[in-house]
Every structure is written in C-alpha cells, then in structure tokens.
Amino acid sequence: MFTAIVGINWGDEGKGRMVDLLSSDYDIVCRYQGGNNAGHTVINPRGKFILNLLPSGILRDETVNVMGPGMVIDVEHLFHEVERLRQAGIEITPKHLKISDRATICMPYHKLLDILEEDRLGDAKFGSTRRGIAPVYADKYMKKALRMGDLLHMDDVAKRLPALLEWKNLTVEKGYGHQALVAETIMEWLTTYGLPFKEYICDTTAFFAQAAEEGKSVLFEAQLGVLRDIDFGIYPYTSSSSTIAAYAPIGAGIPSKKLDQTIGIMKAYSSCVGEGPFTCELFGEEAEALRQAGGEYGAATGRPRRVGGFDIPASRYGVLMQGADIVALTKLDVLSYLPKIPVCVAYEVNGERTESFPTGVALACAKPVYEYMDGWMQDISGCRRFEDLPENAQKYVRYIEKATKCKIAYVSVGAERDAYITM
Ligand code: GDP
Ligand code: MG
C-alpha cells in the first residue's frame, strides 16, 4: 500500500498528527519535499514533539523513516532536531532513518540570502520563514547545489567549493554588500553538522525498490498544502517545492510507483502563515478569538497565523488538486465556542459571485461571501463516535463534505493521538 498524506489548504492542517496516528499501519514513512520550514506538531503517549525535517514516523521505533530526494536539508538544523528527540528518549539510528544521497543540502548561505532578500524587500516581503528554502531550491535548479551524497566525498567538495563560492559571492558580497563567504568556514560547517549523518545517507531509491518488492507499505508525508504548491498554489506566495500528492513518488525517490491512496488533511476553519491573498481572512476580535481557540501560532517560527472561516472555494480546489480519495477534517473542537460559525461559501470577483478558486489578479481582488451556520457550544473533545457529536456539529461536517465533494473519513477533536472519530 502506497499512501500520501497531504494538505488541502495553506498548511498546518494537522498532517503531522494524522501521520503519527496512521503510521502504525505502514512500514515506512517518507518526507518527499520541503525543508525545515515545516512544523509538524505531534502529541502522543511519548510526549509532545515538533518535527521540522524528520518524518513524523520517527516516533515509532518499528518504522523506517526516509528523507527523500525532493527534500532540502539544513544539516545543522537536522543535527539539533535529532539531538532534541534523542534527549526525549527517541531512538534514531541508521535503521530508523535513511537520508537520500540525492537530497539537497540547505547551506548557511541559503539562509543568509533568504534573510538578506526579505530585509531588502521591506514591506513588500514574501513572508518567508527565512530558512533558506527558496534560495536552495533555486540553486538546485541552477544545478549548483551540494547534495547529501556529496558528504561521502569531502575531498571532492573541497575542490568544488571555491568556484561555487566565487559565484555565490557575486550575490552575497557584490550584490548585498555582505561579508564574503569563506570556503574554510563552510567546510567546517559541513564537517561538524553533515558528517555525523554519513551512516544515514544511502540510495533510498534502491531501498524503496527493494521494499516494494518485499510488499512493504509506505506513507508519504507532505509539508504545507496545495495553496503553497509552487505550480498550483498562490504564486508567488507559495513554497518552492511541489506539495501535492502527485509529486510524492518522485520526491520520495520511487518515481515509477503509483499511489494507491491519497488522504487529504483539511482543517475545519482556515489559517495561513505569511503574506499573499487569503480571501476568507477574518480580522479584529473575531480573528483573535479563533486564533486563541486554535492555538494558531507557527510551529516552525512562532508567528501568529492569519485565520478565517472554512473556505469552500479554496478547499474544493485543494481536494481536486490533491486528488484526495478521502479527507480527515481536523480541529473541529476549536469551533466549539462559536454560537454562529462563519463559512466562506463563495468569492466575489469584480462584483460577480464565483464558487471556483481564481488565480492572479482575480484572486488578489476577490472578496469573501460569508454565511453563518449554527454552532454547538459544547465540549466535543471527548467524542469518539460520529453519533456522539452534537447535531449541529454533525451537520457542519456533512455540509463541508458535500461542499468539497470528498468523503470525510476522519474527524479530529483534539491534538492527542486518540482524539479522533472514524466515520
Ligand atoms: P501540520 O504542519 O499540518 O503538521 O500541522 P501543525 O502541527 O503545524 O498544526 C496543527 C496544530 O494543531 C498542532 O499544534 C497540533 O497539535 C494541533 N492539532 C492537531 N489536530 C488537532 C485537533 O483535532 N484539535 C486541536 N485542538 N488541535 C489539533
Ligand atoms: Mg505546520
């Protein structure tokens, strides 16, 4: 069984917690895109964990975790993330974790360039996580990046690095007027933080081919959601990688394999980190109350997330682009305080109502059409069966299911592993 768990919205839908829950049925969990701009929060019997780079299956001892070729890896961040988990009693060995030799290394200068450019842009900034993600993917496609496999050949890296830095310094030093990058410092960084992973780096494509032959099951874990996909998201307010399920086999390193199932993770309301159009956005007290109720502060950055009601045009588009077979509707419990629940049912573009999701200028000027549904005003976090939910909560779930045209198979009512309902 090859299954992808992906985001239907802007990210932070609760993918990590669903991977943590469902990974018990899989032999392997693989992250296939993005870098440490991800923040997946998992709360289970072993504790509370925030994972940025490591696949969420790392919290199960019997699961093999793969960081695929589609990822960009800041080895310094990975080093500290692994340390943090080890201190919490999680075992991480080459048996549990395999890193693709094809994955790209996110270097200190990528992070630096991300910061320099966001600062230069001032008010026109993209709202980047400042973790080097756009610069490193740019270098990957410029074919000037270092890959994890290069760490196995440090002599060769030492030879290539001066020419690489000469090129980078055209931007860092001559462009931004920053202190020039020095090869020695970079080599030290690679040695300190990269070399400890030598034993973990392998040809994950060969590993997957073998695993497929043995009938092993794989869960692909995405970062962010459709609306941040480089091609299908709200460009240029997207991430720099493909967040959609169709990319999973490629980014994981098993390009010939078809997915058997795609599970979309969709939040019962909306949240968005960073800049760009967010049509359903709520403001003022209404927004603050929702932000507080949902704890909407970025796991990776601590930034307050922008919030809104459930967005039907955006979510229906998300379901479609992901090709989701089933959906998990998350964080329903967060809405329990609302007597009337706001739902963005359509957009108005240039005075015309539309239920489809526009792009470009049309999206930038779209206004939300809000309707209100009756709330339930009671704690639902203890509900474990659909019938246990108050009638209005059941109605809300069924309404969303119909509007987004996808079967809701799970509803989550709390952050803990077992706080969910199977439909
Ligand atoms: P991801 O990036 O998609 O993995 O999502 P994040 O972890 O960034 O954000 C989801 C947040 O909601 C985390 O803090 C989770 O602990 C929390 N969470 C997940 N599911 C639920 C739920 O059903 N109810 C509540 N109240 N919180 C949840
Ligand atoms: Mg997140």
pLDDT digits 0-9 by tens, 207-237? 999 999 999 999 999 999 999 999 999 999 9
User: What's residue 299's pLDDT?
Assistant: 63
- Nearest in space to 422 (alpha carbons), one of 306, 334, 327: 327
Q: Does domain 104-196 have CATH number 1.10.300.10?
A: yes
φ and ψ of 222, to 5 deg: -90, 160
What's the pLDDT tens digit per position in 252-278?
999 888 999 999 999 999 999 888 999
Cα–Cα distance, 44 to 84 (Å, whole number): 16
Sign of CA dihedral 348, 353, 356, 358: negative
Burial of 59 (0-12, 13-18, 19+ CB in 10 A): buried
Q: Report the residue among 330, 338, 421 best suited for mutation to probe ligand 1: largest number of ligand atoms under 8 A from its CB.
A: 330
Q: How far is the CA of 213 from the centre of ligand 2 (A)?
A: 33
Q: How far is the CA of 308 from the centre of ligand 1 (A)?
A: 16
Sign of CA dihedral 413, 238, 194, 200: positive
- Nearest in space to 280 (alpha carbons), one of 258, 324, 302, 311: 311
Indicate if the pLDDT at residue 302 is higher than 90.
no
Cα–Cα distance, 104 to 180 (Å, whole number): 22
Largest CA distance in the chain: 68
- Nearest in space to 272 (alpha carbons), one of 315, 245, 305: 305
Q: How far is the CA of 195 from the centre of ligand 1 (A)?
A: 33
For residue 12 and ligand 1, the question of a CB distance below 6 A is answered with yes
Q: Which CATH architecture has domain 266-422?
A: Alpha-Beta Complex (3.90)
User: What's residue 274's pLDDT?
Assistant: 85
As a whole-number percent, the residues of the chain with pLDDT over 70 amount to 99
Cα–Cα distance, 273 to 301 (Å, whole number): 10
Average pLDDT over residues 105-132: 93
6: three-class secondary structure by DSSP: strand
Sign of CA dihedral 150, 152, 154, 156: negative
Structure tokens belonging to residue 135: 């610069």
* Equal fold, 104-196 vs 266-422: no
**Backbone torsion region of residue 14, taken as left when φ is above 0, otherwise alpha when ψ lies between -120 and 50, otherwise beta:** left
Q: Which atom of ligand 1 is nearest to the CA of 294?
A: 26
- What are the boundaries of each domain within the chain? 104-196, 266-422
Let me know how long the chain is. Answer: 423
Strands (E) in 68-183, as ranges, are 72-73, 97-100, 104-105
Are 225 and 270 contacting, i.e. CB atoms less than 8 angstroms apart?
A: no
Average pLDDT over residues 170-188: 97
Are 321 and 288 contacting, i.e. CB atoms less than 8 angstroms apart?
A: no
- Nearest in space to 329 (alpha carbons), one of 270, 389, 266: 266
pLDDT band at 361 (very low <50, low <70, confident <90, very high): very high
pLDDT band at 300 (very low <50, low <70, confident <90, very high): low
User: What's residue 344's pLDDT?
Assistant: 98
Cα–Cα distance, 423 to 417 (Å, whole number): 16
As a whole-number percent, the residues of the chain with pLDDT over 90 amount to 94
For residue 330 and ligand 1, the question of a CB distance below 6 A is answered with yes
- Ligand closest to CA 221: 1
pLDDT band at 69 (very low <50, low <70, confident <90, very high): very high
* Element holding 218 (H helix, E strand): strand 218-225
What's the pLDDT tens digit per position in 188-206?
999 999 999 999 999 999 9
The set of catalytic residues is 12, 40
Average pLDDT over residues 377-386: 98
Average pLDDT over residues 320-340: 98
> Residues 275, 401, 274, CA angle at the centre, nearest 5°?
10
187: three-class secondary structure by DSSP: helix
User: What's residue 387's pLDDT?
Assistant: 98
Are 266 and 404 contacting, i.e. CB atoms less than 8 angstroms apart?
A: yes
